[in-house]
Amino acid sequence: MRRIIVLAVLLFLVYVIHAVGADSPRPYGDEAVLVFGFALIVSWMAGQLTSRLRLPMMTGYLLAGFLFGPYVIGAFDAYLTPFTPRAMRDLELIDGLALGLIAFTAGGELKVASLRPQLRTIGLISGVQSIVVSVGVGAGFLALSTHLPFLAHLPFNARLAAAIIVGICAVAPSPAANIAVITELGARGPFPTLAMGATVLNDVITILLFSVAMLVAGKLLTPQAGVDLSLLALVSWELVGSLVIGLVLGWLLRLYIRYIGRELPVLMLALSFVANEAATHFHLSGILLCLAAGFYIENYTEHGPDMVAALRRYRLPVFIVFFTLAGAKIDLPLLRQIWPVTLAVVAIRVALIFLGCRLGARIAAAPAVERNLIWMVLVAQAGVSIGLANIVGESLPVIGRDLQTLGITIIGCNELLGPILMRYALTHADERPPSWTSQDK
């Protein structure tokens, strides 16, 4: 009852603030501060509720953003939602900050000593699953494409180009979602290591295949144009350059920890933001850059525990706001228009992830627990998938923008489903922590 009263008071305050300031100029950042505070309180309460229901707290954060965002409560009255377009733009920096922190944490989870015995299993599961999902989802989307208004009237070549892109993007899982659930549960052991290894390798495979897919799609859409090899070079630079510069960043961070070592949590926040912003300007992957740096610190220095402790200091509030904003961006009106195709693609993708992982795990002779559960960790989608969808929107003629919008809607559905499956997998892999509470509390 107390939480309902708190929620009612907060919504009333949001309404009053918007109503009073509707006709007057407002200082930069005031709406962003309102969203930040609202998310910390409301999303935290939602996370506590979903945790009691044996669901990830992250699911609560996503649902809070969705329910109190512009497409649900905002549809009743725009003054009731704090997630205004201006506030969402002002808080875009949270995306880079959160993804950087998550990537540093993911890199720290990839311990060479733990990964070495599982490299064959990780490679086979990721490789087989990537082939099955990319081909299967692409074929399924091609069959469904005549039911989409922006594709139905186009020739077969255009629909095939769209299907190739959707199939490749379907391979990418979400390190962000997985590391958030692993962190919440404090999961340790072979299965979380396998999960993070497969997640990261799938992302790398997706980035590699995406460059080729964009070349093929561009040729199908504009047969009269030549092959744009600059796109292949750009994506290759994004992969190799991000990893190399990330290792250099890790080396520099090692020197800082060794010779200075002060205010490390603040430095990690700054590096997470700066690395992602710089990566955007230099066509690099901020996630891969920070992941490589975290991997270097954990495996080739003695400062891994210092980095993990620094990341743990501030990451929870950043995670809460990041996933709340992700929930607020799920476009309900668009989902209503294309929900049959969206849900069909989501269902086909999940089924093929299950099939591909089972086949890969069987070839690798993986233990039964890994054969049965590993597919669940590859369902969630977020950062890398959204980045690829944005590239599609900017690069492909005729269908790019519509395909980007559809892709983000599909990603939103996977983002809601994936963390639930990830938590189930972790808690049924015989490695459940002694408490259901988050280590960050």
Per-residue HEC secondary structure of 141-201 comes to HHHHHHHCHHHHCCCHHHHHHHHHHHHHHCCCCCHHHHHHHHHHHCCCCHHHHHHHHHHHH
Check if the beta carbon of residue 97 is closer than 8 Å to that of residue 357. Answer: no
Domain ranges of the chain: 2-90, 94-427
The alpha carbon of residue 333 and the mean position of all alpha carbons in its chain are separated, in whole angstroms, by 22
pLDDT at 433 over 50: no
Q: What percentage of residues in the chain have a pLDDT greater than 90?
A: 9
pLDDT at 139 over 70: yes
User: Could you tell me the CA-to-CA distances from 38 to 6, 11, 14, 32, 266 in Å, in that order?
Assistant: 11, 9, 9, 10, 23
What are the φ and ψ backbone dihedral angles of 433, each rounded to 5 degrees?
Answer: -70, 165
Tokens of 172: 């990418």
pLDDT at 187 over 60: yes
Within 10 angstroms of residue 235's Cβ, the number of other Cβ atoms is 23
Report pLDDT for 439: 41
Confidence of residue 435 (pLDDT cuts 50, 70, 90): very low
Burial of 199 (0-12, 13-18, 19+ CB in 10 A): buried
Q: Supply the DSSP string of 373-385, one letter for each residue.
A: HGGGGG----HHH
**CA-wise closest residue to 375 among 395, 361, 365, 392:** 361
**CA-wise closest residue to 400 among 199, 145, 217:** 217
**pTM over the 0.95 mark:** no
Distance of alpha carbon 388 from alpha carbon 344, whole angstroms: 21
Within 10 angstroms of residue 434's Cβ, the number of other Cβ atoms is 6
**CA-wise closest residue to 251 among 283, 292, 199:** 292
Within 8 A by CB and 6+ apart from 64, the residues are 39, 42, 43, 45, 46, 47, 324, 327
Decide which of 302 and 431 is more confident.
302
Comparing 14-18, 147-151, 167-171, 298-302, which segment has the lowest mean pLDDT?
Answer: 14-18
CATH for 94-427? 1.20.1530.20
pLDDT at 102 over 90: no
Place of tokens 């010779």: 259
Mean pLDDT of 368-376: 86
Report pLDDT for 29: 53
To the nearest whole number, what is the mean pLDDT of the chain? 80
Distance of alpha carbon 58 from alpha carbon 50, whole angstroms: 8
Check if the beta carbon of residue 376 is closer than 8 Å to that of residue 341. Answer: no
Tokens of 259: 């010779």
Within 10 angstroms of residue 368's Cβ, the number of other Cβ atoms is 8
Place of tokens 């603040």: 266
Decide which of 439 and 136 is more confident.
136
pLDDT at 351 over 90: yes
**CA-wise closest residue to 141 among 176, 112, 121, 169:** 169
Confidence of residue 426 (pLDDT cuts 50, 70, 90): confident
Check if the beta carbon of residue 46 is closer than 8 Å to that of residue 102. Answer: no
Report pLDDT for 128: 92
Report pLDDT for 25: 54
The alpha carbon of residue 130 and the mean position of all alpha carbons in its chain are separated, in whole angstroms, by 17
CA angle at residue 437 from 435 to 441, to 5 degrees? 135
Report pLDDT for 97: 80
Mean pLDDT of 345-372: 90
Mean pLDDT of 236-250: 85
Place of tokens 């890969």: 360
Q: Taking the chain, what is the end-to-end CA distance rounded to the nearest angstrom?
A: 23
What sign has the CA pseudo-torsion 292, 297, 299, 304? negative
Q: Which residues of 122-154 are buried (b: 16+ CB within 10 A; e: fewer)?
A: bebbbbbbbbbbbebbbebbbebbeebebbeeb
Tens-place pLDDT, residues 374-409: 899 889 886 667 767 767 776 777 777 778 778 878
Distance of alpha carbon 382 from alpha carbon 30, whole angstroms: 27
Tokens of 424: 């189930």
**CA-wise closest residue to 326 among 102, 121, 152:** 102
